[in-house]
Amino acid sequence: MTTGSPPPTASRRSRARTFVPLGVAAWLVLEIWLLTLVADAAGALTVFLLLLAGAVLGGLVIKRAGRRAFKNLTETLQRQQAGETPAQRRMGSGSGFLMLGGLLLMLPGPISDVAGLLLLVPPVRTFLGRRAERSLERRMSAAGAGGLGDAFQQARMRRPDGKVVQGEVVRQDGSPAPRHGDDGPRPPLTP
């Protein structure tokens, strides 16, 4: 009996799934080793105070960045409700790298603290923001034509085991569902 579906293939493990856990483990071992070196040189109380200061400073940075992000969001929504066209966003006004810096400061260890302090420097954040934006633009242009609706349509057609379910959505009155680009409502996503 033929079902029309291709036979399952063995999934290949990506490089990221292989090297990211190894990198995280190496980073943790290095952080612990450096903390023990600092504790031997300066004492356990000094290390405890450094860890406490990093946690407090990281919390303050995350709180400030969150407030800034919420303020920017409310201002943007108010401008859109007033009918203004969205203005060009300012470079360096994003709070994502500030929040990441605060999180790195909160993590125990000298390497994460140095990385978190570097992310608090505005030129470093601007440089990393430009690099991230260019990388995202390259990936989006390489993805080709297709929008978010296409991604949802594809997710809707695939079962969890990877098999594609062929079919068409038909309304109660017997008319076919609107195609991509029509303004009609789409059926809800159901598992």
Q: What is the pLDDT of residue 18?
A: 86
Distance from C-alpha of 160 to C-alpha of 8, rounded to nearest angstrom: 13
Rounded to 5°, angle at Cα 13 from 10 and 14: 135
What are 10-60's pLDDT values in tens digits?
Answer: 567 788 888 999 999 999 999 999 999 999 999 999 999 999 999 999 999
Distance from C-alpha of 188 to C-alpha of 183, rounded to nearest angstrom: 15
Q: Are 31 and 111 in contact (CB under 8 A)?
A: yes
Q: What is the pLDDT of residue 92?
A: 45
Q: Are 65 and 98 in contact (CB under 8 A)?
A: yes
Q: What is the pLDDT of residue 79?
A: 87
CA 56 to chain centre: 24
The model scores a pTM over 0.75: no
Q: What is the pLDDT of residue 180?
A: 54
Q: What is the pLDDT of residue 158?
A: 55
Residue labelled with tokens 């969890």: 160
Q: Are 110 and 36 in contact (CB under 8 A)?
A: no
Two structure tokens written together for 171:
């309304």
Packing angle, helices 44-81 and 96-106, rounded to 10: 160
Task: Point out the residues of the chain with pLDDT beneath 50.
Answer: 1, 91-92, 149
